[in-house]
């Protein structure tokens, strides 16, 4: 994992449970609801000039519960409500496939970092479960765990960085952004 002194140049979010309320195997864009602090958190990072992406396991595709077009429609809805995000990466596989992309494997994080042109060591992954934290660590990125009711107690204890909500996670990130001191603290609603 990257040292804490490495500057942050990009942020990747988990989708379900982190940016939006988790609806298991959601293929319906009308069910997308951002978590309460998501819009402001994302806006603060944009004000700081950081490229943003989403890395998400979507095993509903591999399970035959949704199709790729459903997942992409949900992603497009998230983009409409909170985006646009600079990069989207999702894994359609089930755990039994043992693919290189499904979190906790590092594939999604590595692919998103490559697309953004940043080193994983300059990237922070924000998520709600150990798979998000582990994928970041395996890719050489840092992670901030934002617990939800789905987060197990042992995941919280094991996480290198825990924030009570997305606002606190963004505070942590912005303290590590070079040459942008305070830029993310401006009220996004007052921006010209």
What are the catalytic residues?
Answer: 14, 16
Q: If residue 127 lies in a helix (H) or strand (E), which one and from where to where?
A: strand 123-127
**Nearest 10 degrees: CA dihedral of 96, 26, 57, 125?**
-160
Spatial CB neighbours of 10, under 8 Å, sequence gap ≥ 6 = 50, 51, 52, 53, 113, 116, 118, 122, 123, 124
The closest alpha carbon to 21, from 6, 31, 11, belongs to 31
End-to-end CA distance of the chain: 37
Q: How far is CA 12 from the centre of its chain?
A: 4
């Amino acid at each position: 994992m990257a040292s804490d002194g490495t500057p942050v140049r990009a942020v990747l979010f988990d989708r379900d449970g982190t940016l939006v309320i988790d609806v298991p195997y959601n293929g319906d864009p009308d069910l997308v609801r951002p978590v309460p602090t998501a819009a402001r958190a994302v806006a603060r990072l944009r004000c700081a000039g950081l490229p943003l992406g989403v890395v998400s396991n979507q095993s509903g595709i591999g399970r035959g519960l949704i199709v790729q077009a459903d997942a992409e429609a949900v992603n497009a809805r998230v983009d409409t409500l909170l985006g646009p995000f600079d990069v989207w990466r999702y894994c359609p596989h089930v755990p039994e496939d043992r693919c290189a992309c499904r979190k906790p494997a590092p594939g999604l994080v590595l692919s998103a970092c490559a697309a953004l042109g940043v080193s994983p060591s300059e990237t922070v992954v924000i998520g709600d479960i150990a798979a998000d934290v582990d994928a970041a660590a395996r890719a050489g990125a840092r992670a901030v765990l934002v617990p939800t009711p789905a987060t197990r107690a042992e995941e919280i204890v094991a996480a290198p960085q825990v924030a009570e909500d997305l606002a606190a996670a963004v505070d942590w990130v912005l303290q590590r952004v070079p040459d942008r001191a305070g830029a993310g603290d401006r009220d996004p609603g007052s921006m010209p």
